[in-house]
A and B are shown apart, each in its own frame.
Chain A
Amino acid sequence: MRMAIQGVGITGAFGTGVDALRTALQTGQVPAENKTAENGYQAPVDKLVDFIPKRALRRIDHFSKMTLLSASLAIQDAKLETADRSRMGVVIATGYGTLQTTFKFLDSYLDYGYACSSPTHFSNSVHNAAAAHVSMQMQATAPSLTVTQFEMSVASALLSAQQWLAEGRVDQVLFGAVDESCEVLHYCRNQFFGAGEQGPIQPFAFDKQSAVAGEGATFLLLTADSEAAPYGFIDSVQMGNHTVSPLQLSNDELFIIGADGHRQCSSWYPQAVSDSNAVAYAPLYGSFLAAAGFDLAVAAVSQRDETIYLCPESSGSVGLLPTQKLTSQPLSCLKFDGGGNYGLIRLSR
């Protein structure tokens, strides 16, 4: 069953909102204030107070703030601020969940024992906490779910959203993809990849490790097939393994690929798609497991604008596709993990 994209909300290193994303796509630039001293990417959340009183945010961590901000923006974009949201479900895809808060809670337990473990940290470290915050603040009282499957989180969670809509369990789904960059993550990445995460990310340099940690949250407001779909449609979501069941992709299709400078994952892309019909935007938001949701948001905006935007200059692509009119060519998002598992999301206008 195809799904209609009614609204998009997003916050990432390029800024907050669809207009900021569009500006980044047009310029290929990320504002310097959203780069960290370690050359990482960070997502602003300051606009959240436009939607939720500051006082109500006191116990909400950064992960949930990014989540709430982009969910609020998606509802605003879909013009559902005053609608009855009792049949709106919430599905969030995340690679690691609330890493920073989870480790704060574990640290307090290890340092001071259970008697001094913060209940606030505990409640925010529960994996569905961000989705629960969204459900409560948006009064979206249909089912609420968080899916974690590393690089495949987005495709897997999207299948759940599709199933809910097909079953009629919900009328709308607030579908989100969220991951955060934090001290713990930087420590782990340094252990795996060395201290050389200096960038720039070169998604098309498939044999080179060039990933830089990013973060952010994006939400799509999805409904069942509908005549009105400002950002077009998600026609199908397919998951599989390229070794077991090789992808047969047409050269007529355009792909937004999830290559983000991770050598192990990136090595699969040239086996499935050609440089000449692929674009990648990881340099605009960084490398993180849920970034496939950002690729999907870019696809939605591209469909709305009827434009495929040029990859950021640093991409490392030999034959960069120029910014061009998106005509009748089908657009898809493709994400590989290190083991050849893939998530393929096909869209249409």
Chain B
Amino acid sequence: MSVKEKLKQVLIEDLNIEDVEPDEIADDLALFGEGLGLDSLDAVELVIIIQKHFGVEIKDMVESRPIFESINTLAAYIEANKS
């Protein structure tokens, strides 16, 4: 399973997003606001999800805001930082 596929799966499971299938989340869909509709508490959960499932730490949430834009940006960050 690719990083993007796994990301979509854990997002749905861990954030308890109902009525959405992994393949319905486009790689460039905005995760917050109008897109998938995530909010600030989800952002905190996302940091935890990425550390727990991918072993990649996000230390500064403000500086890291661009990482949370979409599945594309998140996957790129994970690929670049996983050990």
Contacts and interface: CB of A to CB of B under 8 A. Distances in A.
Contacts, number: 26
Contacts of B41: 59, 119-120
Interface string B33-75: 0000100010011001001100000000000000000000000
B48 A59 contact: no
B51 to A, nearest CB: 5
A59 B39 CA distance: 12
Contacts of B45: 118-120
Nearest to A61: B16
Interface in B15-38: 15-19, 37
How large, as a class, is the contact surface on chain B?
Answer: 10 to 19
A248 B52 CA distance: 59
Nearest to B14: A118
Contact of A116 (B15, B16, B19, B51): B51
Contact of B48 (A54, A55, A116): A116
A244 interface: no
Contacts of A118: 45, 48
Interface residues of A, number: 12
Contacts of B17: 58
Given A118-B45, A119-B45, A59 B51 contact: no
B44 A119 contact: yes
A277 B51 CA distance: 61
Interface string A179-218: 0000000000000000000000000000000000000000
Contacts of B51: 112, 115-116
Given A119-B41, A119-B44, A58 B18 contact: yes
Given A59-B41, A119-B41, A120-B41, A112 B18 contact: no
Interface in A101-149: 108, 112, 115-120
B21 to A, nearest CB: 16
Interface string A39-68: 000000000000000110011000000000
Interface of A: 54-55, 58-59, 108, 112, 115-120
21 contacts: A54-B18, A54-B19, A55-B37, A58-B15, A58-B16, A58-B18, A59-B41, A108-B52, A112-B51, A112-B52, A115-B48, A116-B48, A116-B51, A116-B52, A117-B48, A118-B45, A118-B48, A119-B41, A119-B44, A119-B45, A120-B41
